[in-house]
Amino acid sequence: MAKLPTGRKLPGKLLVVEGIDGSGKSTQLDLLRKWLVGEGYCVAFSEWNSSPIVGSTTRRGKKKKLLSPTTFSLIHAADLADRVERQMLPALKAGAIVLADRYIYTAFARDIARGVNPDWVRGNYAFAPRPTVALYFRVPLEESIRRIMSGRPRLKYYEAGLDLGLSGDPLRSFELFQERIVSEYEKMIDEFGLTVIDATLPLTEQQEMVREIVAPHLQGVLKAERSAWREVLGKEQLYGRYLPEIGLEQRQK
Amino acid sequence: MTKVAFYGHGLPNVHKGDLPGKLIVLEGTDGVGRSTQVALLREWLESSGYAVASSGLKRSGLAGKGISLAQEGHYLGDLTSCLFYASDLADRLEREIIPALRAGFVVLTDRYIYSLLARALVRGVNRKWVRSVYGFALVPDKVFYLRAGLDHLIPRVLNARGFNYWEAGMDFLPQRDYYDSYVEYQSRILDQFDAMSSEYGFHLVDANRSVHTVFTELKRGIDKLVRGMKPASPEILGDE
């Protein structure tokens, strides 16, 4: 069960993945999503920092380097609030599964690493429903950095923590910043009951573990009839030539 | 001097110790004449030799545009709105208001956290939560609360820009008519302001009176606050 901050149980399940950049959490969540959808469950997905209402402000702040630790924290809280209010909470009330790629723990780790008051940040996020399961993908720093640098050559300003002035060299700054974030994550494991996954294991092995952890929570979850049009096509002897046009936009994303 | 004191956890990286400027807030409901008074006061203070800066909701370089855009759409949730406005205020405090206070400016702000608290509370947002969120707000030197009754507010709003969706509470009240909704919403907002008045030490200004009368009263109140902030005049220097 996901729970409201008041303790009231919600019929849906909130499954969260956390971990530093390059821990492979998004890959694992994507695999989990495909499996859950394949099993017929009703699944909503929400990514950190993706609110259509707040996004332009966050982008502006990052591009123009306007963000301080305080405003960085607040704007990300606004982003989650919008997604909770409009997307996650309705889905959880309906009894669906909500998958979140990063959640409040990302904010706690990053903002506290930036020197924001821990009690204040935690208080700001008090509106967030409590997850059913929060998986923390633990990876050694060197490994995550190797993964990131092989795929993405240029580190962004805030991503590298350059706003903290830890080092003028983006890579060095990134390392120092990630180190702080890792130590914040480690502290939160017990406090919030995060489930640790060893992110150095082979992908499939990790996914098996993830499914094993998630499976007991799937009872009674809302199912969605997939491809309900198949039946119509068969009965009416139609080809469904125009059906691919439906949802074309989503697939193009 | 503005003492560096916050309502809650405060802002990191703001050094303790006094700021030589003064932070003066004008609060009150929509249409009560705050912006007119801020404009008049700014001119008066500047012509009296003070350095003045002004600020107001949604004027941050960071979040002003974003909030306005979100308000044009069909949905801006209560919590999102609180945090979005918090981003706006924190940005202005850190990048405009506190630097101006440090440089010895008189900073006049059109609304502050009190309007934001009132708006959130009438919408049923948790009081403890919203207060904690705005805990980074610097405690102002003075808050002038301009209060006018609805019968005075309505013609002013109609003469200015008409009823606004959000300022009429159309986002949450059951009334489907702008006028009815506005009346209900603003009465609830007034109740919230009145309830905050003694806790936050508002200086109540009766804004049912003419703009000039209100201006005179504000001038009197502000004069006391800013006296002694002006650069020493040549005669005084000559005495030494």
pLDDT tens-place string over residues A73-100: 999 999 999 999 999 999 999 999 999 9
- Chain B residues whose beta carbon lies within 8 Å of the beta carbon of residue A67: 62
Chain-chain contact of B62 with A51 (C-beta, under 8 angstroms)? no
For domain A2-228, is the CATH number 3.40.50.150? no
Contacts with A240 (C-beta within 8 Å, 6 or more apart), sequence order: A229, A233
Chain-chain contact of B80 with A57 (C-beta, under 8 angstroms)? no
Instruction: Please determine, for residue A31, whether its predicted confidence score (pLDDT) is greater than 90.
Output: yes
The DSSP annotation for B22-48 comes to: EEEEEEE-TTSSHHHHHHHHHHHHHHT
Q: Using CB atoms within 10 A of its CB, is residue A9 exposed (0-12), middle (13-18) or buried (19+)? A: exposed
Is A82 in CB contact (< 8 Å) with chain B?
yes
Of A16-20, A38-42, A61-65, B214-218, the poorest mean pLDDT is in: A38-42
Q: Of the candidates B107, B52, B100, B50, which has an alpha carbon nearest to the alpha carbon of residue B230?
A: B50
Residue type, A30: D
Chain-chain contact of B70 with A74 (C-beta, under 8 angstroms)? no
Chain-chain contact of B90 with A70 (C-beta, under 8 angstroms)? yes
Regions of chain B where pLDDT drops below 50: 232, 234-240
- Chain A residues whose beta carbon lies within 8 Å of the beta carbon of residue B90: 68, 70-71, 74
Question: Beta strand pairing status for A13-18 and A43-47?
Answer: unpaired
Q: What are phi and psi of B70, to 5 degrees?
A: -65, -35
CA gap A76, A179 in Å, rounded: 21
Chain-chain contact of A57 with B13 (C-beta, under 8 angstroms)? no
CA gap B220, B199 in Å, rounded: 23
Chain-chain contact of B66 with A126 (C-beta, under 8 angstroms)? no
- Chain A residues whose beta carbon lies within 8 Å of the beta carbon of residue B61: 64, 66
- Chain B residues whose beta carbon lies within 8 Å of the beta carbon of residue A129: none
Of A194-203, A223-232, B34-43, the poorest mean pLDDT is in: A223-232
CB B50 within 8 A of CB B229: yes
With b for 16 or more beta-carbon neighbours within 10 A and e for fewer, the B98-132 pattern comes to bebbbebbbbbbbbbbbbbbbbbbbbebbeebbbb
CA gap B240, B149 in Å, rounded: 53
Among all residues of chain B, which has the CA nearest to that of A77? B83
Å between A108 CA and nearest CA of chain B: 15
Domains in chain B: boundaries: 22-226
Contacts with A91 (C-beta within 8 Å, 6 or more apart), sequence order: A12, A42, A44, A97, A98
Chain-chain contact of A77 with B132 (C-beta, under 8 angstroms)? no
- Write out pLDDT tens, residues B188-201: 999 999 999 999 99
CB A117 within 8 A of CB A107: no
Q: Which of A51, A67, A120 sits opposite B135 (nearest CB)?
A: A120
Q: Which of A57, A64, A119 sits opposite B63 (nearest CB)?
A: A57
- For B22-226, which CATH superfamily applies? P-loop containing nucleotide triphosphate hydrolases (3.40.50.300)
Interface probe, candidates A49, A56, A75, chain B, greatest B C-beta count within 10 A:
A75
Chain-chain contact of A78 with B83 (C-beta, under 8 angstroms)? yes
Alpha helix segments (H runs only) across chain A:
25-38, 55-63, 69-83, 89-94, 104-113, 118-124, 141-151, 170-192, 203-214, 229-236, 248-252
- Write out pLDDT tens, residues A33-55: 999 998 989 999 999 999 999 99
CB B3 within 8 A of CB A61: no
Is A53 in CB contact (< 8 Å) with chain B?
yes
Instruction: Please determine, for residue A14, whether its predicted confidence score (pLDDT) is greater than 50.
Output: yes
> Percent of chain A beyond pLDDT 70?
96
Interface probe, candidates A4, A70, A110, chain B, greatest B C-beta count within 10 A:
A70
Q: Which residue has the tokens 């530093």?
A: A20
With b for 16 or more beta-carbon neighbours within 10 A and e for fewer, the B168-186 pattern comes to bbbbebeeeebeebbbbbb
For position A54, what pLDDT does the model report? 95
Residue type, B240: E
